[in-house]
Chains A and B, each alone.
Chain A
Amino acid sequence: MSDSEDVRRQVEDFLYLEARLADESRYQEWEALVTDDMRYWVPAGPAEGDRDDSLSYINDNRARLATRIRQLCTGKRHAQTPPSPMRRIVSNIEILSDDGTEIHVTSNFVLYELAVQSKGRLRIWPGRATHILRRGDGRLRMAAKSVELVTAGEPQPNLTILL
């Protein structure tokens, strides 16, 4: 196997693991995949421009992401009580760059969420994710994840899951 095929395999393994932990609302295991300077961004439109200068659905630094996870773990986050059953398909994985330390990778996803907290509606979240994966201690971690929803410009229902 060539080096680049090896990297691709590691990246795919990471993205599939991250997706499964998010789908299964395993919040703390998901959080263990992020770096200490993780940025998590879900813009209300295209992922362009300065994220800090716009009003986003989510624009978390590491501290705010920790609050987000803590809130989900209280068991009293009514918008996710009980947690939504979810499954997502991750595909179209493209490695954009790899400088030896950080790998920039984009992928498409379609996420199916059953909103069991009220009317039991099936919500479909299609989009494109861009990850910055950083090598360290012999493993990969997420240093950034930004998610462009196909529906980003339109009103959204509750978005209290991990995308």
Chain B
Amino acid sequence: MGERPLLDYQALVTDARVHGSLYADPQVLEDEFERIFTRGWVFVGHESEIPEPGDWVTRRLGREPVIMVRDRDGRVQVLANRCAHRGTALCWEQRGHNSSFQCGYHAWTFGLDGSLRAVPYPAGFDRDKEDLALDRPGQVESYRGFVFADPDGGAGPLADHLGQGGAGLLDRLCDLSPTGSIDLSRGWIGHRVDSNWKMWPESDNDGYHLNWVHASMVSAAPDTYYQEVVLGGESGNQSRAVDWGGGHFELDFRPSYRHELAWLGASREKVPGYCESLEAAHGSERATQLLWEGPPHGFVFPNLFLGEMNVAIIEPVSTNEMVHWHTCVQLEGVDEAFNRRLLRQSEAALGPAAFIVPDDAVTAERMQLAFGGARADWAPAGRAWIDMSRGLAREQVLEGTRRAGLVSDETTNRAFWHHYRRVMTSGGAPSSRGR
């Protein structure tokens, strides 16, 4: 570690520019795995994915494979997917159900809480089983069913990480359910892209690119609601690009919706059951507000995209490769036809065969091609910088560090990068466990 030249992230991310080496230099990813994905809060999964004790899913926290499992007491556990004996992965599929985890190598058996339960031929084994539980993150917390982990355990409370901005985004999604709970158990679709992971917090929340990258979608499906919320150009479009602080940000479409359920491309007549459930649960006034406002289109740092009625995980694989995992939000307490409508909308928007995201993917791959071997020492020479200044001068400063711009401004992109700079220069949250 000590021999590595330190990268000067303060110099590589300015208020208005970002250096291309941050997408291309393998050392950057090593630093990110350490400072962002090991010393900070990272989204893991949703409680609804594992409803019953023994249900599990596998994920990656930065470079560490983990199992998210519901234990016998109904608690959500996040465990290293690595036998405490010789390190074999315990689970290799995306989801499953077990009453315990048994390693295939020497049959060590672990409980759903990660404790070591049994070792074959115990006479030759004199260690304390309590010292050989599965590794686990220092902290695991959830908010409205969204489970986050802080691997090193020194990042402070989840509430501080989310702040009002991040929590507000999750609230606005979950509040659309009559029960206040959403269901993310329909499985995740992975979209593999030959790009750095950071193109995705950018592109998923960029209000400036749609008329060009998505021109074919606009032309083939001209009745999309994106027409009124983000495509119409700057004049007359009331949507905003909002920096909520803490690396959380949003394309806020609410001011542009011209009728209830515009975000669903529907009206009350099309989905009467849903509207009745929402009114029964929340009262008429609140239901009307929810039907107008719809779900957020935003990002929770560092890896969670809330794409209206879709949820996506940004997973770095290598400097030049990432996976964009998504699933469709299903609401509890609504009729089946409504949830099926959401599934069909999700298939149109996200995934490798959808009408929208594949064009972002090829654009991200072209960016990655163009950055090629960009190195940090190109920066002083003025090479391979990207410009993110759009709207900087006309940004509205809200309370605290919050900012809002026109939906076509790069306020959301700066929100990501300015928080990134803070995290990467502070070395992440202080480690409590020592390394």
Contact = CB atoms under 8 A, between A and B. Distances in A.
Contact of B216 (A44, A78, A158): A78
Given A55-B346, A71-B221, A79-B362, A157 B352 contact: yes
Contact of A55 (B194, B327, B365): B327
Interface in B327-367: 327-328, 340, 343-344, 346-348, 351-353, 355, 358-359, 361-363, 365-366
A46 to B, nearest CB: 12
Contact of A44 (B187, B193, B215, B221): B187
B361 A55 contact: no
A53 B186 CA distance: 9
B189 to A, nearest CB: 5
Secondary structure at chain A's binding surface: helix, strand, loop or mixed? loop
B190 interface: yes
Contact of A68 (B187, B327, B351, B355): B355
Contact of B353 (A54, A67, A119, A159): A159
Interface size class of chain A, counting residues whose CB lies under 8 Å from the partner chain? 35 or more
Interface centre among A55, A58, A77 (most CB of B within 10 A): A55
A53 B192 CA distance: 24
Given A59-B347, A157-B192, A71 B362 contact: no
Contacts of A67: 220-221, 355
Contacts of B351: 57
B361 A158 contact: yes
Given A64-B348, A71-B355, A158-B352, A76 B194 contact: no
Q: Taking each of B187, B221, B353, which has the highest tally of chain A beta carbons within 10 Å of its own beta carbon?
A: B353
B148 to A, nearest CB: 22
A160 B356 CA distance: 11
Interface string B154-194: 00000000000000000000000000000000110111111
B353 A121 contact: no
Contacts of A153: 94
B323 A155 contact: yes
A65 B194 CA distance: 27
A153 to B, nearest CB: 7
B189 A57 contact: yes
Contact of A58 (B190, B328, B353): B353
Interface string A82-123: 000000000000000000000000000000000001110100
A70 B187 CA distance: 29
Interface string B75-118: 00000000000000000001000000000000000000000000
B189 A70 contact: no
A71 B347 CA distance: 15
B228 to A, nearest CB: 19
A95 B326 CA distance: 36
B217 interface: yes
Nearest to B327: A55
Nearest to B363: A78
B353 A118 contact: no
A108 to B, nearest CB: 20
B343 A55 contact: yes
Given A55-B346, A158-B352, A158-B358, A118 B187 contact: no
B278 to A, nearest CB: 23
A121 B48 CA distance: 37
A54 B217 CA distance: 24
Given A78-B359, A160-B358, A54 B323 contact: no
Contacts of B213: 78
Contacts of A78: 213, 216, 359, 362-363
A71 to B, nearest CB: 4
B219 A155 contact: no
A71 B346 CA distance: 17
Contacts of A76: 215-216, 219
Contact of B365 (A71, A118, A160): A118
Given A42-B353, A153-B94, A157-B193, A54 B187 contact: yes
Given A58-B353, A157-B193, A77 B359 contact: yes
Given A57-B351, A158-B193, 7 more contacts: A42-B353, A53-B340, A54-B343, A57-B347, A58-B353, A68-B355, A70-B219
Interface of B: 94, 186-187, 189-194, 213, 215-217, 219-221, 323, 325, 327-328, 340, 343-344, 346-348, 351-353, 355, 358-359, 361-363, 365-366, 369
21 contacts: A52-B340, A52-B344, A54-B343, A55-B347, A57-B347, A57-B352, A59-B344, A64-B344, A71-B220, A71-B221, A72-B216, A74-B219, A74-B220, A78-B359, A78-B362, A155-B191, A156-B353, A157-B191, A158-B352, A158-B362, A160-B352
A-B pairs, 6 with minimum CB distance: A155-B190, A118-B365, A71-B220, A79-B358, A70-B220, A76-B216
